[in-house]
Amino acid sequence: MDTHALIQPLVAKNNTKIVMYVADGLGGLPQQPGGKTELETAHTPHLDKLARDGVCGLSIPVAPGIAPGSGPGHLGLFGYDPVKYLIGRGALEATGIGFELGPNDVAVRANFCTIDAKGNITDRRAGRIASEESAPLAIRLRQVKIAGVEIFVEPVKEHRFVIVFRGPGLGGDVLDTDPQATGVPPLDPVASNAGSQKTAEIAKEFVRQAKELLKGETKANCCTLRGFAAKPSLPTYEEVYGLKAAAIAVYPMYKGLARLVGMDILGSAKTLDEQIEVLKANWAKYDFFFIHFKYTDSTGEDGNFDAKVKRTEEYDAAVPKILELKPDVFISTGDHSTPSMLASHSWHPVPTLLWAKHCRTDACQSFGESECLRGGLGQFEAKHLMTLALANAGRLGKFGA
């Protein structure tokens, strides 16, 4: 179902405010079968009250059994079908380090590697060279000059860096050059369609000059290129929902994802308290606010159950400060589950609550996985959440006569 095509003609504007308060990786698992999850263990009086007054459910980010990355996880919450709207790996990597992609850009994930005298790869990841050693090498590669194209090189971490080629007529469909093996040379960049031919030629020249610039380096003297991707073309929040939307996030990845759907990125908060201050300062200017809280995911990824519980309590503690502003629709959810028992993103459905005046309350007594299972939203694909938000905000007209 194309939800955008369905709702776009129904959108109406009014003065309501919608807050989507996202705890990254919110869903979890108990430490023992039959025990409580992180969210169920945490003391979350504010979310529990909203669960009683609002309507709960479990969000399926992409499809049953599918563990999403941050890209598809957030696109789903934003109401963009995550299977239809794929963000290329290069574009996501650039987004993740805060690089603002333009319409003429092709982003590439690059790996430093080592090659021998014959040009054959000896280590595909340059021995996972330390970031302090690789960053200056990446910066050195800014010296590469190719006529007709602007080139950006940004360090990421260890052997990884990002290249962005900017210029007219650059297609993003070029195959990876990592041969996935040692003892052979890197592959030449090959365009998979005519519109990406120029990109492939530029990439080839980039690698040639890079080898010159890295000549004599023992830890990293070449590079491979992967995940070529043009800026994904997504309709904006304004276009699809008629919403003037803003994102308040600490980490570049989530700012970048919000920017891709046309949200304004507000402030430069480093803490949740600062994020709330930014929210207050901008309350009058926007219809929709996406507030991103990272640490429920990072503690889950660390496999630290207790730390995730603590971070969940921190997330809960900020709720009253948001409610003081009297949003018409308040949503608490996650982009996916990150159970500390798995120390990774998982496929488990994500606890979700929606509070609004006419939301039709259910019997849920607290905010947690088990309670949400008997919630009024049922189990639903994340891409429907924005439709529910708009409906509860009185921003959707009737479908059909």
Q: Which residues bind a copy of itself (CB under 8 A)?
A: 1, 3, 6-7, 10, 29-30, 33-34, 53, 58, 62-73, 82-83, 86-87, 89, 92-93, 339, 341-342, 344-349, 358, 360-363, 369-370, 373-374, 376-380, 384, 387-392, 396-401
- CA separation for the pair 174, 153 (Å, rounded): 18
On whether the CB atoms of residues 291 and 333 are closer than 8 A, the answer is no
Smallest distance, a copy of itself to C-beta of residue 116, A: 31
Minimum distance from CB of 4 to a copy of itself (Å)? Answer: 11
Residues in the chain: 401
Closest distance to a copy of itself from the beta carbon of 74 (Å)? 10
Nearer to a copy of itself, 160 or 198 (CB): 160
- Residue whose CB is less far from a copy of itself, 282 or 379: 379
Nearer to a copy of itself among residue 51 and residue 279 (C-beta) = 51
Q: Report how far apart, in Å, the C-alpha atoms of 263 and of each of 2, 254, 395 are.
A: 21, 11, 18
Residue listed under structure tokens 């999850």: 37
Instruction: State the nearest-atom distance from the C-beta of 172 to a copy of itself, in Å.
Output: 15
Least distance to a copy of itself, CB of residue 332, Å: 17
Alpha helices by DSSP H, listed for 125-264, are 131-140, 197-214, 237-241, 252-260
Alpha-carbon distances, residue 246 vs 7, 264, 296, 307 (angstroms): 21, 5, 22, 29
Do the Cβ atoms of 14 and 326 come closer than 8 Å? no
Q: How far is the CB of 136 from a copy of itself (least distance, A)?
A: 26
Q: CA 296 to CA 59: how far, in whole Å?
A: 17
Contacts of 392 (CB under 8 A, 6+ apart): 328, 329, 354, 356, 357, 358, 359
CB of 273 to a copy of itself, least distance (A): 30
Report in angstroms how near the CB of residue 237 gets to a copy of itself at its nearest. Answer: 16
Tell me the C-alpha to C-alpha distance, in Å, between residue 256 and each of 29, 91, 103, 138.
29, 10, 14, 22
Strand partners of residue 114:
123
* Nearer to a copy of itself (CB atom), residue 3 or residue 197: 3
Residue (51 or 144) nearer to a copy of itself, CB: 51
User: Dmax of the chain from CA atoms?
Assistant: 74
Neighbours of 341 (CB within 10 A): 16
Least distance to a copy of itself, CB of residue 47, Å: 17
Q: Are 82 and 257 in contact (CB under 8 A)?
A: no
Task: Indicate the residue among 10 and 187 with the shorter CB distance to a copy of itself.
Answer: 10
Residues 337, 344: contact at Cβ < 8 Å?
no
Our CB check for a copy of itself shows the closer of 115 and 229 to be 229
Which C-beta is closer to a copy of itself: that of 181 or that of 399? 399
CB of 211 to a copy of itself, least distance (A): 28
What is the rounded distance in angstroms from the CA atom of residue 17 to the CA atom of residue 291? Answer: 13
**Residue among 52 and 198 whose Cβ is closer to a copy of itself:** 52
CA distance 108 to 93: 8
> 221 or 366: whose CB is closer to a copy of itself?
366
Contact 226, 109 (CB under 8 A): yes
Instruction: Report yes or no: 23 and 334 within 8 Å, Cβ to Cβ.
Output: yes
